[in-house]
Amino acid sequence: MTEQVTNISARKDEHLRICLEEDVRSGVPAGFDQVHLQVATLPELDFDSIDLSTKIFGKQLEAPILISSMTGGSGKTKMFNQLLARAANEIKIAMGVGSQRAALVHDGLNETFSIARKENPGGLLFANIGVAQLKEGFGVDECQRAVNMLEADALIIHLNALQEALQPEGNRDFSQLLIKIESVTKKLQVPVIAKEVGCGIDPQTARLLVDAGVRAIDVAGVGGTSWAAVEMYRQADPVRKALCQTYIGWGIPTVSALRGLDSLPEGILKISSGGLRNGLDLAKSIALGADLAGFALKLMVAANKSYETLNDTLKLIILELKTAMFLSGAADLKSLRPKLIKENGDVTGSAI
């Protein structure tokens, strides 16, 4: 393994350790407490008949849940990808793997990602690379290799300007990236998803990304894991540490970022993520227009305890979502969308 690959793997392990051992929350609310669903006092529904299923990129899911991109690229993270993928397969939900950069440079690491497909042969699975890699010589061929590595259904390109700005080893040249993204969307054999990592995607950028051929936007807003906090724990240099601290709450809260996607063209998939705490936040995300909702650190913390804890956590999220739908009188995800109480406070929407 080259020194570069060893460094990437070690950094991924360190990120994971910090996320599991330190308080890496942004401290900024994602905004879900200000969002309300209509209440149907008499729902006129059988709880057991509520349908959470959805179809994304041609694959059927039992619930609109995404295990957000996190791991791969080292021995330890392979084990997490295995656990997460096993749960995704059992519950029939979507999953993304973490950045595949290390495996694209060193074949020996492929298995730490492809294990996710092995565990979940028919499931909806997303590959992942960082936009900064498009500046480092990665092009459509490397993106296609990332997809092929796990027979992925789509490729996530994560946009992490804050993280690159804060890391001493970060790549801070973000010029001329849109055109590179466009060259990937034009030739890649699967759809491209653009995703932030906890700072949100602004409406203008979302529109530019869609114009460049991106088929889905994962807002990954502020409200949950803060990469400035994660990087802060890695820094020994007091200047770098203070820089990270200043930016712990930077970005667009998840709910605002989601609302900012309202004017995107029909057919663009919207993913809510960043600080989702439970299935009620998920229900609110759907009412705000999301098609899918992602959870990252919450599921990693659960997986770090045991497979059973992970499974129970996901089952609880599903029950919470179903309960929200029951209480607002929504028999399926489509019926949940109009249940958002508009900002004028109108609560008169009747389920009956």
Ligand X SMILES: Cc1cc2nc3c(=O)[nH]c(=O)nc-3n(C[C@H](O)[C@H](O)[C@H](O)COP(=O)(O)O)c2cc1C
Could you say whether residue 339 binds ligand X (CB under 6 A)? no
Asked if residue 82 binds ligand X (CB under 6 A), the reply is no
The amino acid at residue 71 is T
Q: Which stretch binds ligand X (CB under 6 A): 47-55, 203-211, 291-299, 328-336?
A: 291-299
Q: CB of residue 133 vs ligand X: minimum separation in angstroms? A: 11
Residue 333 has φ and ψ, to the nearest 5°, of -65, -35
Question: Closest Cα to residue 64, out of 218, 232, 252?
Answer: 218
Residue 81 binding ligand X, by CB under 6 A: no
Q: Which residues does 94 contact at the CB level (< 8 Å), separation at least 6?
A: 56, 59, 61, 65, 66, 67, 88, 123, 124, 125, 126, 292
Residue 317 engages ligand X in binding (rule: CB under 6 A): no
C-beta separation of 184 from 157 below 8 A: yes
Least gap, CB of 220 to ligand X (angstroms): 4
d(CA 111, CA 324): 39
Q: Specify the stretch interacting with ligand X by CB under 6 A; choose among 38-46, 233-241, 271-279, 328-336.
A: 271-279
Q: In whole angstroms, give the CA distance from residue 94 to residue 63.
A: 9
Token pair listed for 308: 């059973």
Q: Which is nearer to ligand X, 291 or 326 (CB)?
A: 291
Residue with token string 């997303």? 126
- Please report whether residue 197 would count as binding ligand X according to CB under 6 A: yes
Q: How far apart are the first and last CA of the chain?
A: 63
Task: Give the residue nearest to ligand X (CB).
Answer: 224
Using an 8 Å Cβ cutoff, are 195 and 158 in contact?
yes
Rounded least distance, CB 277 to ligand X, Å: 9
Q: Does 328 sit near ligand X (CB under 6 A)?
A: no
Positions 104 through 163 that interact with ligand X (CB under 6 A): 128, 156, 158
* Residue 282: CB minimum distance to ligand X, A: 11
Task: Give min distance, CB of 47 to ligand X, in A.
Answer: 27
Q: Can you tell me whether residue 222 is helix, strand or coil? A: strand
Q: Which of 40, 56, 70, 209 binds ligand X (CB under 6 A)?
A: 70
Residues near ligand X, by CB under 6 A: 15-16, 19, 68-70, 98-99, 128, 156, 158, 195, 197-198, 220, 224-225, 273-276, 295-298, 300
